[in-house]
Structure 1
Amino acid sequence: MGEKRRGRGEGSIFKREDGTWCASMTLGVRDGQRRRTYVYGKTRKEVVEKLQALQRDQAAGATFTKLTVKAFLDQWLEQTVKRMNRVRTYDKYAADSANHIIPAIGHHQLAKLTPDHVQAMLNQLEDAKLSHRSIRNVRAVLRAALNRALRFGYVTRNVATLVDVPGEVTFQPEPIDEDPAKHLIAATKGHRFEVLFRFALGLGLRKGEILGLRWEDVDFATATMKITGSLQRQRGKLERSATKTDASVRTIALPPTLLAMLHTHREQQEERRAVADRWTDTGLVFTSSVGTAIEPSDLSRAFKQVLKRAGLPERLRFHDLRHACATMLIVMGVHPRVVMEILGHSQIGTTMNIYAHVLPRVQRDAVTGLDTLFADDTPDDDDAEPSTGDAEGEPDADPE
């Protein structure tokens, strides 16, 4: 038998016949059975350190279990994500879990998952030529799952927050400033989506938000509009669902030009409805020629046509109209928190990080304004008035 030694507060520590050291700790009693866990090491000191780490975790409320990463992800997706998120979000999280996370680290015990395991997974995804954006999304899914595990006491830290995404680059939106924006507006004249494009550029709405906008969300009397939902294709069906986040639900003031355009657009829609052979009443502000919802892909194709007419790069996306709106608001000096509320960002940090590329220009305008404010307006000597000394021509007295 191996030699057994016990130190105060160290549980059971003993040296095994093969020369390695082992320690055990009681976790409690479940179903009438005493539960213990074991740690191993080459030296007694190593085992003591591992045991003390377990004791600290236990004191912090950790729930020791042999639950695997796969088992927890399955449980989290069904019990949390499916119940609290949109179908599209659930499908995306489930796909990232099944295709990337579970094959790489699903077999590990959740409580024993380390930053090295996660970093190796992300590196493998990069080696497999997965895009950096997709790798970030995979890390985000795992981070969200481990946050839940942390709250439930399955783990004592979120290891997904401790790793780096390989080759991570900061997103920079495609720049559309004042001149390209004017060319774009001119190119939309007479287009069937003219008003839609103007709303996207003038209010920074997401594609799903603008396609899901309903007449009941518009208040002509107060010149405001509520963003309450988003039109998305989910599992092959075009549906209006909740907004991206709670912060995306917002009320936006309508400027006079857009309000007038919306009045005219409603009248024209009513005229088309009156003469149409068939019309589906969806209550949507922007519809097809027969009243049905506009397919997001159709809108993207129409946007490419407008870009070509405006002489702008066809690599621009419809979403870049949202970025253009925010960029111009920031350059105009609008407070970032107001920009955040218009865009429906949940955190001001999101707004500032995405649009950091325009801050140098804003900073230059700001210091130039200060320079103008505190400019020395003392006239040059050649233009100065003569001294007002006494009759003998003596200078004025010292101001002291």
Structure 2
Amino acid sequence: MLRAMLSQAVREELLARNVARLVQAPTPDREEIHPWTETEARAFLTAARAHRLHALFVVALALGLRRGELLGLRWSDVDLDAGQLRVWQTLQRVRGDGVVFGPPKSRRSRRVLTMPAVVHQALKRHRNAQEHERRLANGQWQESGLVFTTATGRHVEPRNLNTAFGRLIARAGVRPIRFHDMRHNCATLLLAAGVSPRVVMDILGHSQIAVTMNIYGHVMPAMQQEAASHMDAALSEPEPEAGDDADE
């Protein structure tokens, strides 16, 4: 950040040089990621099935949306007929400012995603349940246009979502992870299934392919083994039949 500020000062001829360019910043150690296995992810969703925000957890695992993107998701950004979901808004609680709606993290974070069937079905059930809650609210409903709300239509507090997530983990009996780790789960499952890193990058809304590769490089060895197997199948010569002349 300081380097960028001083570069701007150089462009405006307020400084002759940017001394921050001389600094070699250390490379931070990346925290090793240990997302859920497929079995653990399914066990969690099974335990969350009765929770009113079950669809939120399905979207988090299947599409890798960030917490703020999930809580800021509007019905106007969900096209159930076309099977697409648009990430165009986030919700954050900012100290001193309260709840703030804003754009996603970066330009690449604004994205249109194709919904897997499991997401499509979960959101349809959620919409019907939300309509039922609207009727039960008996005039107390506060229309926000958000997909995931409280029982009276208000936005969901990020801290309350974390609390509910922790309780569901305990109910499912799976390894405790952070809410953000469900995003890692999405990427790991996609890469392990052979989905192109470029496609995973677009789904997660990363700004560069290098970001995707650096974070999820631990999945690459398994993908390379699969690639080697495909190449063997494509190029291996058939075994000679018994009695064939080896020289021929």
Q: Give TM-score scaled by structure 2 length.
A: 0.90
**AA at the equivalent of 1:273:** R
- The verdict on how the C-alpha distance between 1:352 and 1:155 changes in structure 2, with shifts beyond 3 A counting, is farther
CA distance in 2, matches of 1:149, 1:171: 35
CA deviation string 1:308-349 (max 9, x = no partner): 1222232x1110000110111111111111111111111111
Change (3 A) 1:152 1:285: same
Separation in 2, partners of 1:147, 1:328? 41
Q: Any idea what SS the aligned residue of 1:337 has?
A: helix
Structure 1 letter corresponding to 2:130: Q
2:143 aligned residue (263, 281, 289)? 281
Partner of 2:156: 294
Aligned to 1:329, the other structure's residue is in SS state helix
Q: How far apart in 1 are the matches of 2:19 and 2:63? A: 37
TM superposition shift of 1:374 = 3.0
The reply to whether residue 202 of structure 1 matches residue 62 of structure 2 is yes
Q: 1:224, CA displacement in angstroms?
A: 0.7
- The partner residue of 2:171 within 268, 291, 309 is 309
Q: Distance in 2 between matches of 1:163 and 1:249?
A: 32
Structure 1 unaligned regions, length at least 5: 1-140, 388-394
* Counterpart Cα distance in 2 of 1:150 and 1:348: 31
Give the AA of the match of 1:152: E
| Residue from 79, 95, 118 that aligns with 1:219 | 79
Structure 1, residues 220-247: CA drift from partner, whole Å, max 9, x if none? 2211111111000122411211111111
> Offset of 1:372 from its aligned partner?
3.0
**Higher RCO structure (Cα 8 Å, ≥6 apart):** 2
CA distance in 1 between counterparts of 2:222 and 2:115 reads 27
After superposition, the C-alpha distances for 1:361-389 in whole angstroms (9 at most, x for unaligned) are: 111221122223333432552xx6xx7xx
Aligned to 1:42: none
1:259 counterpart letter in structure 2: H
Corresponding residue to 1:334 among 195, 202, 206? 195
- Mapping for residues 92-103 of structure 1, pairs under 5 Å: none
| 1:252 paired to 2:99 | no
Give the letter aligned to residue 219 of structure 2: V
1:1-400 correspondence to structure 2 within 5 Å: 141-153=1-13, 154-157=15-18, 159=20, 162-165=23-26, 168-234=28-94, 235-277=96-138, 278-314=140-176, 316-378=177-239, 381=242
Name the CA distance, whole Å, in 2 between partners of 1:183 and 1:333.
23
SS at match of 2:29: coil
1:368, 1:150 → 2: CA distance? 54
SS in 2 for 1:251: strand
User: In 2, distance between residues paired with 1:313 and 1:263?
Assistant: 29
Q: TM-score, normalised by structure 1?
A: 0.57
Aligned-pair RMSD on alpha carbons?
A: 2.2
Conserved? CA contact 2:36–2:175, under 8 Å:
no
CA distance in 2: counterparts of 1:346 and 1:279, whole angstroms: 38
Uncovered stretches (5+) of structure 2, i.e. residues with no partner: none
Deviates further, 190-199 or 256-265: 256-265
For 1:367 and 1:201, how far apart are their aligned partners in 2? 29
Taking the aligned partners of 2:166 and 2:146, their CA distance within structure 1 comes to: 23
Percent identical pairs in the alignment equals: 39
1:143–1:161 Cα contact (<8 Å) kept: no
The structural deviation recorded for 1:182 is: 2.0
Aligned length: 244
Counterpart residue identity of residue 156, structure 1 = R
- In the alignment, the residues of structure 2 paired with residue 146 and residue 365 of structure 1 have an alpha-carbon distance, to the nearest angstrom, of 47
Give the match's secondary structure for 1:192.
coil
> How far apart are residue 214 of structure 1 and its match?
0.3
Write the distance in 2 (CA, Å) between the matches of 1:195 and 1:181. 14
Residues 287, 181 of structure 1: CA spacing in aligned structure 2 closer, same or farther, 3 A cutoff? same
Structure 1 residue 172: Cα displacement: 2.7
| Residue pair 1:177, 1:327 contacting (<8 A) in 2 also | no
The CA distance in 2 between the partners of 1:298 and 1:200, in whole Å, is: 16
